[in-house]
C-alpha cells in the first residue's frame, strides 16, 4: 500500500479553531512535525499560535507545544531572537524535541543564540545592569550538563569562559582531575582576545587549581604555571610560589627561575630579585642561587657557551659571497656584513673579519657603522667582555667631538654595545655609560648609535632617566639622532601604555618636519602599547585617521603589537582592510606584514590568509606578504609557505624578490635536507643569485641576508616569536619589528638577532654546573642533522690525450714484437706505455658498463657495502650535554631510566611519536600536535647517584677548544658514511688491477 503524501497543513490548522482543547492540543503536536515542510502556510496563523501560548484554557503541555511551534516558525522566517524567546517558553518540549531526528539544525541555531544571549546577560549582570532570565539559565545549565555527560569538557570550558562561569571550570576539574583541561582554559584565555582584566582574573583563578609541581611527577603543566606567572607579571604571586618550592623542591625552583628569565621582562625579574626573602641558614644558599639566576646573566652565559661549542658556520659560503659581491658598493658591503653577523651571531667567532681586513677597510660612512655594529651581533651575550671587545672602536674617554669617518665606527660600536647587552643591560653600568655618551656627544652619528644601543640594552626597563635623556636628544631636532631616539624611547617604555610618554611622542611627531624622526616616533608609539590589547584602541584609532602616512604606518604596527599573538579577529579584519584600501603603499605593505605578529602562534593559518595578497597587483602588498610568511612561519619549514614564496623569488619587481628570499631563510632555518625537500634548492638559488652580477642589487641583497638567516647562529639557533613555555617572546617580537624597518634603514636589520633562540639541551645540576651525561634522540640522525658543508669546486684535472699512432708505426711495432718473441726477448715496458694508455682509455667505458654486474658477482662484499650502509642508518642516536636539539626533535628526546641525571621537568610538551608511524616531516608534525614547541633549553637535572664523583664540562678555560674540537665529534657520524662511499667509488677502478689486464686479451681475440 502506497503511503499518502500530505500536500497541505490546512486540515490540521483548522483544528486550532475548534473549541475543544484536546483537539487544539493534538493540532499543536501534529503541526510541530509539519513545520519543516509547511512553515510558510503555518506562518499565516502565527498570531493564533501565540494567543494559544498565552491562553489559560490549555494545559501546560499544550502551552509548551504552542511555544515550540511558534519558535520553529520564527526560525524558518529568519527571526532568530524571536525563535529563542519562544524556545525559552517551550520548557520541556524544547528539550524533548532536541533529541528528535531532523531538528538538529534548528536546535543548534537556537542553542548558539541562547549562548550568545547568556554571555551578554552575564556581562550585563556583572556590570549591575540587569538579571538573567531563569529560563535562559536553565537552558545553559542543561547544555553544561549534557557536555559533561558526553565528555565534551573542552566545549563546556569554552562556553564557561565566554559566559564568565569559572565555577563550571572548577567543577569539571574536580570531576576529572585532568590538568590538561586547565592548560586548555589557560591557552584559550591567553590566545584569544579576552579583555585584559578578565584575562588576569581567569589566570589568577586557574593558578591555585593546578596541583603543586614536584620533580618526581614531571608534569607538563609546569609550562602552564610558568606562562601564567610571566603573563600576570606579578612579583608577589611569583615570590609566594617560589617560596612554596624552597627548600623541598629547590631543583624545581631553579628550573622555574630559568624559565621565568626566558619569558619575563627585566623590570619583572628585578622586582622578584629585590623582594625574595633572605631565608634561613638552610635556605639562604638556595635564595642566593635564585637571585643569581633571575639576574638573567646565567642563562646568557650558558647559551653563549653552547653557541661557541657547536659553531658550524660554513665559511665557504661567506667566501663565495664575498668574492661575488663588489665590496666597493655600500649595499653589497652591508649585505655581506649582515650575512656574516647573522651566521656568527652569539658565537664570538670573528674569524671572517680577521681574515678579510682589506674588505673591512673598504667600508665607509654608514657601511662602517653597520660593520662595527655587526661585532655586537657576533658577540651578543658576551656582556662580561663587551667593553674589552669593543674598546678599540668606542669613543675615547674625555675626547672631544668625533668627526669624519671615526664617528661612524664609534656610533656603530655604541649600537653594538647595546646588542651585546640586550636583555640584561637595564640598571647596569652599560646603561649609565651609554646615557653619558648620549648626553656628551656632539656628533649626530654617535648620538644615533648611543640611542639605539641604550634602547636595546634597556629594553622594557622603564628607566625614567634614560627616557628623559633620549627626549632631550629628540628635541635637538636632528633627523639622524632623533630617529634613533624615537625608537629607543619606545624600547625603554615597552609595554607600559604610558599616556604621558605617548602624548609627548605623538605631539612631537606632528610638529617636526623630519620624516625620519616621525618614523622613529611612530614605531616607538607602537612599542609603548605592546601587549596592551583594548587599552591601545584609542591610540590606534587616532593614528589611523592621521593624514600623514608615516603616522598611519605607526598605527598599523601599534594595532599589531597591542594584540600580538592573540589572533584577534577584529584586528585581523582591520589590517586586511587597510592592506587593500590605504592610499600609501608603505602603509599597505606594513599592514600585510603585521598579520604575522597577530598570527605567529597559528602558523598553519597564515599561508591561507596571505595567499590572495601574495598575488596582488600591488608589489608592496606582495612584498608585505613575503615578510608575513617569513616571520609567522619562521623556523617551521612549513611547505605551504615555501610553495607560495618559491614563485615570488622570480617576481618581476626586485624588492618582492628580496622579501621572498629573506622569508625563505627565516622559514628554513635549522631544517635538514631530510626533513625539508626545499632546503637544497633554496641554498642553490641563493648561491646562483648572489653570484649573478647582472641580477638586481636588491635581490642579491635579499639572497645574502637569506644565506645569513638560514645558517643563523652557527646553525644552532631558530627564529621564534614565542618562548618555550608558549608565552610571547618579547625581545624576539621587538627584534622582528625593528628588522622590518631595514626597508628604510639598513643598520636596524641587526635587530633580527634578538629573535634568535638557541636550540639545545643544556643540563645543570644543583650547583648550576654542567655535568657530562648522555641522552637519546629516538629518530634517525639524518632527520635532524646539520646541513652538509659546501664543497669547493673541483679543479678539473687535465687529462693526457692518448698519442696518435700511425698505421705504419703500429705495423713496425708489431713486427718488432713478433721478432722479439721469437728470440725469447721481452720488449721494454717504456715502449708499450703509449699503447697501454690508448687501450685503457678505450676500455674504461666498458669497465663502467660492466661494473654493476661484476659488483654483484665477483665484487659482492665491496659492491653491497654502500647500499647497506645507507639502509642501516641507526633509528636513534646518543647526544651529549650541550648538544643541538632542534624544536621538532624535542618530542623524540628521552633520558634512559638508568641514567644518572634525570630532568626535573618534561623535555617536551608533545607526546613521543609512535614507532609505527615515524614523522616524515617533523615540522609539520610539530605544528599539528602543538602550537608551540615547549621544552628543551636549560634543564635542571636531578642526580640519582649523588655519592659518585662528578665530571663537569669546563667553560671558560676550554671555550676556544670546543669550537675546533667539538665540531668534528658532533658531525662525525653523518659525514663519515658518505665519506666512505666516495672513497670506495673513487678507488674502485684503481683497486681492480686484474680487470685492467683482461682487455688486452679481449682485443687480441
Give one DSSP letter per residue of 284-345, joined into a string.
Answer: HHHHHHHHHHHTSHHHHHHHHHHHHHT----HHHHHHHHHHS-TTSHHHHHHHHHHHHHHTT
Task: Give the number of other CB atoms < 10 A from CB of residue 366.
Answer: 20
3-state secondary structure of 374: helix
3-state secondary structure of 879: strand
Q: 691 and 699 in contact (C-beta within 8 Å)?
A: no
The model's pLDDT over 625-653, given as tens digits with 9 standing for 90+, comes to: 999 999 999 989 899 999 999 999 999 99
pLDDT of residue 802: 65
* Residue 18 pLDDT class (50, 70, 90 cuts): confident
**Cβ-based neighbours of 798, under 8 Å, separated by 6 or more:** none
Q: Rounded mean pLDDT of 314-328? A: 89
pLDDT of residue 921: 46
* Residue 165 pLDDT class (50, 70, 90 cuts): confident
Q: Give dist(CA 372, CA 727) in Å, integer.
A: 33
* Residue 86 pLDDT class (50, 70, 90 cuts): confident
Q: Give dist(CA 754, CA 380) in Å, integer.
A: 9
Look at 863 and 790; give whichever has higher pLDDT. Answer: 790
Residue 894's DSSP bridge partners are: 776
Q: Is the pLDDT reported for residue 979 higher than 60?
A: no
Look at 111 and 561; give whichever has higher pLDDT. Answer: 561
Q: Is the pLDDT reported for residue 991 higher than 70?
A: no
Q: Give dist(CA 693, CA 689) in Å, integer.
A: 8
Residue of 508, 495, 506, 437 lying closest to 466 (CA atoms): 437
pLDDT of residue 40: 85
The model's pLDDT over 386-444, given as tens digits with 9 standing for 90+, comes to: 888 888 888 876 444 455 668 899 999 999 999 998 877 766 788 888 989 898 888 89
Q: 32 and 69 in contact (C-beta within 8 Å)?
A: yes
Q: Is the pLDDT reported for residue 988 higher than 50?
A: no
Give one DSSP letter per residue of 815-829, joined into a string.
Answer: HHHHHHHHHT----H
756's enclosing H/E stretch is strand 756-758
Residue of 632, 696, 698, 630 lying closest to 666 (CA atoms): 630
Most confident listed range (169-178, 275-284, 549-558)? 549-558
Residue of 631, 664, 611, 604 lying closest to 926 (CA atoms): 604
The separation between the first and the last C-alpha atoms of the chain, rounded to the nearest angstrom, is 96
Looking only at the bridges linking them, the beta strands covering 901-903 and 760-764 are unpaired
Q: Give dist(CA 285, CA 519) in Å, integer.
A: 49
Q: Rounded mean pLDDT of 812-834? A: 63
Q: 341 and 753 in contact (C-beta within 8 Å)?
A: yes
3-state secondary structure of 869: helix
Look at 8 and 634; give whichever has higher pLDDT. Answer: 634
Assigned C-alpha cell, 960: 676556544
Omega of the bond leading into 247 within 30 degrees of 0 (cis): yes
pLDDT of residue 163: 86
Quote helix, strand, coil % in the chain, to nearest 5: 65, 5, 30
Residue of 603, 599, 592 lying closest to 567 (CA atoms): 599
Q: Is the pLDDT reported for residue 847 higher than 90?
A: no
Report DSSP state, residue 466: H
Q: Rounded mean pLDDT of 702-713? A: 93
The model's pLDDT over 309-318, given as tens digits with 9 standing for 90+, comes to: 889 899 999 9
CA dihedral 778, 779, 780, 784 (to 10 degrees): -120
pLDDT of residue 997: 37
Assigned C-alpha cell, 333: 658591503
- Give all strands (DSSP E) within 270-367, no chain letters: none
Q: Is the pLDDT reported for residue 1001 higher than 70?
A: no
Residue with cell 687480441: 1004
Residue 705, CB half-sphere, CA atoms under 13 Å: how many? Answer: 33
* Residue 598 pLDDT class (50, 70, 90 cuts): very high
Least confidently predicted of 78-82, 339-343, 847-851: 847-851
Q: Is the pLDDT reported for residue 839 higher than 50?
A: no
Q: Is the pLDDT reported for residue 875 higher than 60?
A: yes
Residue 719's DSSP bridge partners are: 756
Q: Rounded mean pLDDT of 744-757? A: 92
Residue 820, CB half-sphere, CA atoms under 13 Å: how many? Answer: 11
Instruction: Tell me what percent of the residues of the chain surpass a pLDDT of 70.
Output: 84
Look at 909 and 69; give whichever has higher pLDDT. Answer: 69
CA dihedral 488, 494, 497, 502 (to 10 degrees): 0
* Alpha-carbon torsion (132, 138, 143, 149), positive or negative: positive
Report DSSP state, residue 909: S
Q: Is the pLDDT reported for residue 327 higher than 70?
A: yes
Please classify residue 955 by burial: count the beta carbons closer than 10 Å to its beta carbon, then call 0-12 exposed, 13-18 middle and 19+ buried: middle
Q: Is the pLDDT reported for residue 336 higher than 70?
A: yes
The model's pLDDT over 228-267, given as tens digits with 9 standing for 90+, comes to: 998 888 899 999 998 888 888 888 899 889 988 888 877 8
| Mean pLDDT value across the chain | 81
Q: Rounded mean pLDDT of 755-765? A: 91
The model's pLDDT over 370-384, given as tens digits with 9 standing for 90+, comes to: 999 999 999 998 888
Q: Give dist(CA 800, CA 739) in Å, integer.
A: 55
Amino acid at each position: 500500500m502506497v503511503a499518502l503524501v500530505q500536500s497541505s497543513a490546512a486540515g490540521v490548522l483548522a483544528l486550532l479553531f475548534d473549541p475543544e482543547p484536546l483537539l487544539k492540543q493534538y493540532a499543536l503536536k501534529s503541526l510541530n512535525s509539519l513545520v519543516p515542510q509547511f512553515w510558510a502556510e503555518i506562518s499565516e496563523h502565527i498570531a493564533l499560535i501565540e494567543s494559544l501560548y498565552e491562553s489559560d484554557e490549555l494545559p501546560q503541555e499544550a502551552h509548551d507545544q504552542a511555544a515550540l511551534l511558534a519558535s520553529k516558525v520564527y526560525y524558518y522566517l529568519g527571526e532568530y531572537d524571536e525563535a529563542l524567546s519562544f524556545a525559552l517558553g517551550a520548557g520541556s518540549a524544547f528539550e524533548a524535541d532536541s533529541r528528535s531526528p531532523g531538528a538538529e539544525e534548528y536546535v543548534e541555531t537556537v542553542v548558539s543564540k541562547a549562548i550568545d544571549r547568556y554571555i551578554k546577560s552575564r556581562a550585563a549582570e556583572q556590570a549591575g545592569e540587569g538579571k538573567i532570565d531563569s529560563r535562559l539559565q536553565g537552558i545553559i545549565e542543561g547544555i553544561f550538563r549534557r557536555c559533561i555527560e558526553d565528555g565534551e569538557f573542552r566545549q563546556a570550558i569554552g562556553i564557561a569562559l565566554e559566559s564568565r562561569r569559572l565555577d563550571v571550570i572548577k567543577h569539571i576539574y574536580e570531576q576529572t582531575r585532568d590538568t590538561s583541561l586547565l592548560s586548555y582554559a589557560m591557552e584559550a584565555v591567553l590566545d584569544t582576545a579576552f579583555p585584559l582584566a578578565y584575562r588576569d582574573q581567569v589566570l589568577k583563578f586557574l593558578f591555585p587549581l593546578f596541583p603543586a609541581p614536584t620533580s618526581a611527577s614531571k608534569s607538563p603543566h609546569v609550562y602552564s604555571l610558568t606562562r601564567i606567572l610571566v603573563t600576570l607579571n606579578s612579583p608577589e604571586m611569583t615570590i609566594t610560589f617560589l617560596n612554596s618550592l624552597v627548600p623541598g623542591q629547590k631543583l624545581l625552583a631553579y628550573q622555574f627561575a630559568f624559565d621565568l628569565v626566558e619569558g619575563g621582562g627585566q623590570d619583572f625579574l628585578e622586582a622578584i630579585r629585590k623582594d625574595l626573602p633572605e631565608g634561613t641558614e638552610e635556605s639562604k644558599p638556595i635564595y642566593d642561587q635564585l637571585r643569581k639566576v633571575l639576574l638573567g646573566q646565567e642563562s646568557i652565559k650558558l647559551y653563549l657557551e653552547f653557541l661557541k661549542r657547536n659553531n658550524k658556520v660554513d665559511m665557504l659560503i661567506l667566501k663565495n659571497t664575498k668574492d661575488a659581491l663588489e665590496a666597493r658598493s655600500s649595499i653589497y658591503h652591508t649585505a655581506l656584513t649582515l650575512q656574516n653577523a647573522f651566521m656568527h651571531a652569539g658565537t664570538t667567532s670573528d674569524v671572517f673579519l680577521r681574515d678579510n681586513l682589506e674588505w673591512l677597510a673598504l667600508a665607509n660612512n654608514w657601511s662602517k657603522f653597520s660593520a662595527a655594529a655587526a661585532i655586537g651581533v657576533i658577540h651578543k651575550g658576551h656582556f662580561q667582555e663587551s667593553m674589552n671587545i669593543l674598546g678599540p672602536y668606542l669613543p675615547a674617554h674625555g675626547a672631544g667631538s668625533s668627526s669624519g669617518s671615526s664617528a661612524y665606527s664609534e656610533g656603530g660600536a655604541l649600537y653594538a654595545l647595546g646588542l651585546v647587552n640586550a636583555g640584561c643591560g637595564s640598571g647596569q653600568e652599560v646603561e649609565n655609560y651609554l646615557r653619558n655618551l648620549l648626553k656628551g656627544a656632539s656628533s649626530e652619528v654617535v648620538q644615533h648609535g648611543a640611542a639605539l644601543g641604550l634602547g636595546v640594552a634597556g629594553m622594557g626597563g622603564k628607566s625614567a632617566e634614560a627616557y628623559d635623556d633620549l627626549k632631550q636628544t629628540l628635541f635637538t631636532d636632528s633627523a639622524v639622532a632623533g630617529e634613533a631616539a624615537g625608537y629607543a624611547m619606545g624600547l625603554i617604555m615597552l609595554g607600559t601604555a604610558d599616556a604621558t610618554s605617548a602624548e609627548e611622542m605623538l605631539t612631537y611627531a606632528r610638529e617636526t618636519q623630519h620624516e625620519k624622526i616621525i618614523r622613529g616616533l611612530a614605531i616607538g608609539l607602537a612599542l609603548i602599547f605592546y601587549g596592551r590589547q583594548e587599552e591601545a584602541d584609542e591610540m590606534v584609532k587616532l593614528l589611523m585617521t592621521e593624514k600623514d602616512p608615516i603616522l598611519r604606518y605607526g598605527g598599523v604596527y601599534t594595532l599589531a603589537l597591542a594584540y600580538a599573538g592573540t589572533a584577534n579577529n577584529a584586528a585581523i579584519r582591520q589590517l586586511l582592510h587597510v592592506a587593500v584600501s590605504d592610499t600609501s603603499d608603505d602603509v599597505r605593505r606594513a599592514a600585510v606584514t603585521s598579520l604575522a605578529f597577530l598570527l605567529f602562534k597559528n602558523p598553519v593559518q597564515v599561508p591561507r590568509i596571505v595567499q590572495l595578497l601574495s598575488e596582488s597587483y600591488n608589489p608592496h602588498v606582495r612584498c608585505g606578504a613575503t615578510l608575513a610568511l617569513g616571520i609567522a612561519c619562521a623556523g617551521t619549514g612549513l611547505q605551504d609557505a615555501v610553495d607560495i614564496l618559491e614563485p615570488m623569488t622570480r617576481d618581476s619587481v626586485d624588492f618582492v624578490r628580496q622579501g621572498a628570499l629573506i622569508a625563505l631563510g627565516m622559514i628554513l632555518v635549522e631544517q635538514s635536507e631530510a626533513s625539508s625537500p626545499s632546503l637544497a634548492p633554496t641554498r642553490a638559488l641563493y648561491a646562483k643569485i648572489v653570484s649573478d652580477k647582472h641580477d638586481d642589487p636588491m635581490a642579491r641583497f635579499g639572497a645574502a641576508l637569506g644565506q645569513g638567516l638560514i645558517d643563523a647562529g652557527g646553525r644552532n639557533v631558530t627564529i621564534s616569536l614565542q618562548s618555550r613555555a608558549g608565552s610571547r617572546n618579547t625581545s624576539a617580537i621587538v627584534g622582528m619589528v625593528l628588522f622590518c624597518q631595514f626597508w628604510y634603514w639598513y643598520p636596524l636589520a641587526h635587530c633580527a638577532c634578538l629573535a634568535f633562540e638557541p636550540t639545545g639541551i643544556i643540563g645543570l645540576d644543583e650547583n648550576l654546573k654542567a655535568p657530562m651525561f648522555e641522552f637519546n634522540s629516538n629518530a634517525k640522525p639524518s632527520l635532524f642533522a646539520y646541513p652538509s658543508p659546501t664543497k669547493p669546486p673541483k679543479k678539473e684535472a687535465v687529462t693526457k690525450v692518448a698519442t696518435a699512432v700511425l698505421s705504419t708505426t703500429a705495423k713496425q711495432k708489431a713486427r718488432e714484437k713478433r721478432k722479439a718473441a721469437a728470440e725469447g726477448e721481452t720488449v721494454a715496458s717504456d715502449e708499450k706505455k703509449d699503447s697501454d694508455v690508448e687501450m685503457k682509455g678505450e676500455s674504461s667505458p666498458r669497465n663502467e658498463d660492466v661494473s654493476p654486474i661484476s659488483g654483484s658477482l665477483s665484487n659482492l662484499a665491496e659492491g653491497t657495502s654502500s647500499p647497506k650502509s645507507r639502509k642501516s642508518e641507526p633509528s636513534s642516536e646518543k647526544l651529549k650535554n650541550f648538544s643541538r636539539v632542534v624544536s621538532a626533535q624535542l618530542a623524540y628526546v628521552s633520558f634512559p631510566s638508568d641514567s644518572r641525571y634525570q630532568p626535573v621537568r618534561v623535555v617536551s610538551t608533545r607526546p613521543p611519536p609512535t614507532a609505527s608511524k615515524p614523522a616524515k616531516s617533523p615540522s609539520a608534525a610539530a605544528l599539528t600536535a602543538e602550537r608551540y614547541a615547549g621544552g628543551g633549553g636549560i634543564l635542571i637535572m636531578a642526580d640519582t647517584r649523588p655519592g659518585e664523583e662528578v665530571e663537569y664540562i669546563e667553560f671558560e678555560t676550554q671555550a676556544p677548544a670546543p669550537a675546533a674540537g667539538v665540531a668534528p665529534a658532533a658531525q662525525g657520524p653523518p659525514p663519515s658514511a658518505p665519506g666512505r662511499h666516495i672513497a670506495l667509488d673513487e678507488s674502485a677502478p684503481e683497486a681492480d688491477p686484474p680487470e685492467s689486464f683482461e682487455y688486452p686479451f679481449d682485443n687480441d681475440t
